Amino acid sequence: MSGEEVFVSADAKMRKAVEVLKHELATIRTGRAHPGLVEHIMVDYHGTPVPLNQIAGIGVPEARLLVIQPWDKQVLPNVEKAILKSDLGLTPNNDGNVIRLAVPQLTEERRSQLVKVVRKRVEDGRVAVRNVRRDAVEGLRKLKENKEMSEDEQKRAMTRLQQLTDKFIEEIDRTAKSKEAELLEF
């Protein structure tokens, strides 16, 4: 493995860690309706657990309303049960054709709890990026030990790796600030 391959691998893994974090943050409920709140919910579809977004259309006609329209009407009760079992704390309203979910305003206490959850997940994201960096540094050290890379090349690669890490940590921080601001706005 060359220094460039170590760098490319680290870049891909760091990018994936940031994507996972963004996806996790999208599932945290704010005062606004967003399809990401429910699309991950697993629904029993003819005996098989399936993500909601694979069996239904999820729309946002208003800022505080989600409309879930299953393509198979027979699965409506199962969708309703899955939403009730989820940790969202939302009550589905089933009219026989679609399920409506009203997203209530968040209380101040709940907002501060959610900010703590966001901060924990953001820190987990930072740790994931740092772990990728640690593994890449180890890879670069092995290349130098095996005489596949000179000391100067290793130093340049380490600097480049640190710049890459800083870039992804900054992206994580921007994402965190954005999510926290979204949670704290009324």
pLDDT by residue (tens digit) across 2-17? 888 988 999 999 999 9
Kindly give, in sequence order, each residue whose CB lies less than 8 Å from that of residue 20, ignoring residues fewer than 6 positions away: 125, 128
CATH of 35-102, one of 3.30.1360.40, 3.30.1490.20, 3.40.190.10, 3.40.640.10: 3.30.1360.40
What confidence score (pLDDT) does residue 186 get? Answer: 60
What confidence score (pLDDT) does residue 177 get? Answer: 93
Residue in this structure with the two tokens 């921007």, named with its chain if needed: 174
SS3 101: strand
Asked whether the domain spanning 35-102 has the same topology as the one spanning 3-26+107-184, the reply is no
> How confident is the model over 86-129, as pLDDT tens digits?
877 778 898 988 999 888 777 888 788 888 889 999 999 999 99
pLDDT at 147 over 70: yes
Name the residue ranges covered by the structural domains of the chain: 3-26+107-184, 35-102
**DSSP line for 12-72:** HHHHHHHHHHHHHHHTS--SS--GGGTTT-EEEETTEEEEGGGTEEEEEEETTEEEEEESS
99/43 Cα distance (integer angstroms): 14
What confidence score (pLDDT) does residue 15 get? Answer: 95
- The CATH number given to 3-26+107-184 is 1.10.132.20
> What does the CA dihedral 72, 90, 85, 111 come to, rounded to 10 degrees?
140
- Residue 132: which of 12, 2, 1 has the closest Cα? 12
> How confident is the model over 51-90, as pLDDT tens digits?
988 999 999 898 888 899 999 889 999 999 998 888 777 7
Q: What is the pTM of this model?
A: 0.69
4/96 Cα distance (integer angstroms): 57
